[in-house]
Amino acid sequence: MGVSSYGGDARPSGIVRLTADLSMSIEGRDVIIVEDIIDTGRTIAYLRRNLATRHPRSLAFCVLLDKVARREVEVAVDYVGFAIPDEFVVGYGLDHDGYYRNLRDVAVLDPSASP
């Protein structure tokens, strides 16, 4: 499943779009959604509503990074790796306009840095 909530400026747009749907039924299954980062909470709220209509036996959410200060929608997250401050982070799969995704660590992006 693929979802996107980011606009052209690499900031959340406030609109969650489904970019790819599930290829199989989750009805009656235990489901864990693994996300890289949660900030506003809108994506996880959307996923929870969308997936609940598909009648899984259980539905849990796991995130690597939780940006609590940016939360606009309260959502329950079952497993959290790390809470982080409200700074733009890159690395370990997180990118900025396609750059820095391959860093081996999560790092705060220097606002003056340009690719």
Query: pLDDT above 70 covers what percent of the chain?
Result: 90
Asked if 74 and 96 sit in the same domain, the reply is no
Asked if 57 and 109 sit in the same domain, the reply is no
* pLDDT tens digits, 90-102: 999 998 888 999 9
Give the mean pLDDT of the chain.
Answer: 90
Asked if 39 is an active-site residue, the reply is yes
Asked if 77 and 93 sit in the same domain, the reply is no
Please give the DSSP secondary-structure letter assigned to residue 49.
Answer: H
Structural domain harbouring 112 = 88-115
pLDDT for residue 8:
54
- CATH for 12: 3.40.50.2020
Residue from 39, 78, 86, 110 carrying the catalytic annotation: 39
Tell me phi and psi for residue 105, to 5 degrees. Answer: -130, 165
pLDDT for residue 114:
64
Q: Which whole number is the average pLDDT over 59-83?
A: 96
Q: Are 36 and 93 in contact (CB under 8 A)?
A: yes
Structure tokens at 18: 């489904």
Asked if 34 and 77 sit in the same domain, the reply is yes
Asked if 35 and 73 sit in the same domain, the reply is yes
Burial class (CB in 10 A: 0-12, 13-18, 19+), 54: middle
Report the DSSP pairing between strands 89-90 and 107-108. Answer: antiparallel
